[in-house]
Amino acid sequence: MEMENVSKINLQDINEVMCLIKEAISEMENNEISQWDDVYPNYKIVFDDIDTEAMFGIYKNLELAGIVVLDKNQSPEYSSVEWELNNDSPLVMHRLCVRPKFQGQGIAKQLLKFSEQFANNNSYTSIRLDAFSGNPSALNLYENNGYLKRGTVTFRKGDFYCYEKTL
């Protein structure tokens, strides 16, 4: 599998990011996964992700194929989870998303690999994330790539499983 180039997303790409997210939402809705909507992730959230230089993307043929956000922001709900490493500052992964027409091509896996390299390069000892309990392909992605389920938190859309990978 060739590694596509993962690069930081710039503000001039925000409309393309919003298009990718809208396409992903309609694909999820077609599969009866009610995870994202107009409320989340919205334009302001995406703007902040890009503005803080936390969003990265993979382009295929000059088209944005997938995104991931990497930062230190943990939801307050995470405090109820029994994490393996509790004294460190973990890298937190958010909003990993692949444009529907590029799904099934290993892009999400490349974004995971990039995230792990990024964490290593920046001296993080673990990655944390949450994934919607009703999104089987997302759960399989994390479980098949060494992420361990540490607990469950509840957000507006229901239960999300919390995963951690120590590096």
Q: Which domain holds residue 24?
A: 6-166
Of the chain, the percentage scoring pLDDT greater than 70 comes to 95
Q: What count of residues does the chain have? A: 167
- Judge whether 60 lies within some domain: yes
Closest Cα to residue 97, out of 61, 137, 127?
Answer: 137
3-state secondary structure of 85: coil
Q: Residue 37 has what pLDDT?
A: 67
**pTM to 2 decimals?**
0.91
Look at the chain and report how many structural domains it folds into: 1
CATH number at residue 35: 3.40.630.30
Q: Residue 29 has what pLDDT?
A: 80
pLDDT in tens, 133-145: 999 999 999 999 9
pLDDT in tens, 57-101: 999 988 999 999 999 999 999 999 999 977 678 999 999 999 999
pLDDT in tens, 6-21: 999 999 999 999 999 9
Q: Residue 1 has what pLDDT?
A: 41
How would you classify the pairing of strands 63-71 and 55-60? antiparallel
- Judge whether 1 lies within some domain: no
Question: What whole-number distance in Å separates Cα of residue 59 and Cα of residue 7?
Answer: 8
Question: What whole-number distance in Å separates Cα of residue 165 and Cα of residue 148?
Answer: 6
Question: What whole-number distance in Å separates Cα of residue 44 and Cα of residue 64?
Answer: 19
Q: Residue 152 has what pLDDT?
A: 96
Question: What whole-number distance in Å separates Cα of residue 20 and Cα of residue 30?
Answer: 15
Question: What whole-number distance in Å separates Cα of residue 75 and Cα of residue 49?
Answer: 15
The CA–CA distances, whole Å, from 26 to 36, 56, 74, 105 equal 9, 22, 27, 19
